[in-house]
Structure 1
């Protein structure tokens, strides 16, 4: 199904649609992170994911603020991309019996989520600026930086601990 079948005719329409998409994604990510925290054995990864869950709740609040600033109804639209990424993470975690391998798999799954979010927030920042909404761009940029920082943290933990133990 094409996003353009949903009445998207302008960059502003596209911006709002992507806000709705990432809003849905953040809500799904929050649910998934809560489950991941329960499954993880590595204390550092557990702490990082639990912290990111709290941060994700702040990201949701920021998105609600951007909707309000943009004078747009807070609304989520289904995001098949994040649903697929989260479904794959759940399947891999369900198929992994070795706890060290499970931790490495969950870290990799969390990074796939981060990469999706980095792509979405980067685009939203650019579009907000193009639309003359530097106020919205500033808020979205904060979240983009949070996502990049989490990605770096996951890389560090994977490379210094998880992958070693999984091997």
Structure 2
């Protein structure tokens, strides 16, 4: 039987390891803001490639239309991010966004693991909303950074896109709630 002292040692939580910063780590909010822009630029460009596949695999007419419309918006989001870089006097540069890659991989898996029709449509909406929520969080954060940093032009562009992402999320919820999820049962 373990002693009381030994039992307490097992129950004590481990201290979290400190993660060392990479050589090119952001050193201030401005650098963190630029890194975020690079991530989102990659993410939006990746979405431009992924959305046509989702549209093709959707069967519901409203969902197909929503995805097609969002593809056009996403192309505008890429342009707006380029305007943000331009406003900062920087060349637009993409940096792989691991979070978006994971969400896109999950979306592809959902399409592969569901039968075509309303079940797949429900899965496409679920995957799409995860993407929208990630984008809403990212654009909201970058808008807050832009505000603090005094990047007014970038802030305006980021807020326009944030608004569109929120509307897209609401539209997807409406499509799912109006019979689609019931059909998938």
Which TM-score applies when normalising by structure 1? Answer: 0.96
| Structure 1 residue aligned with 2:43 | 25
- The alignment's C-alpha RMSD in Å is 1.4
C-alpha distance in structure 2 between counterparts of 1:107 and 1:75, whole Å: 29
**1:91 equivalenced with 2:109 (yes/no):** yes
Q: Residues 2, 165 of structure 1: CA spacing in aligned structure 2 closer, same or farther, 3 A cutoff?
A: farther
| Structure 1 residue aligned with 2:100 | 82
Count of residues paired in the alignment? 167
Cα-to-partner distance string for 1:46-97 (whole Å, 9 max, x where unaligned): 0000000000000000000110001112100011100000101101110111
1:117-156 equivalences in 2 (<5 Å): 117-156=135-174
| Unmatched tracts of structure 2, length 5 or more | 1-18
Cα-to-partner distance string for 1:21-47 (whole Å, 9 max, x where unaligned): 000000111111110011100000000
Report which stretch shifted further, 43-52 or 97-106: 97-106
| Unmatched tracts of structure 1, length 5 or more | none
Bigger proportion of residues as helix: 1
Structure with bigger gyration radius? 2
Per the alignment, in what secondary structure is the counterpart of residue 89 of structure 2? coil
Q: Residues 5, 162 of structure 1: CA spacing in aligned structure 2 closer, same or farther, 3 A cutoff?
A: farther
| Structure 2 residue aligned with 1:112 | 130
Cα-to-partner distance string for 1:71-126 (whole Å, 9 max, x where unaligned): 11210001110000010110111011151100000011110100000000000100
Moved over 2 A (4+): 1-7
Which TM-score applies when normalising by structure 2? Answer: 0.87
Of residues 63, 68, 72, the one that matches 2:90 is 72
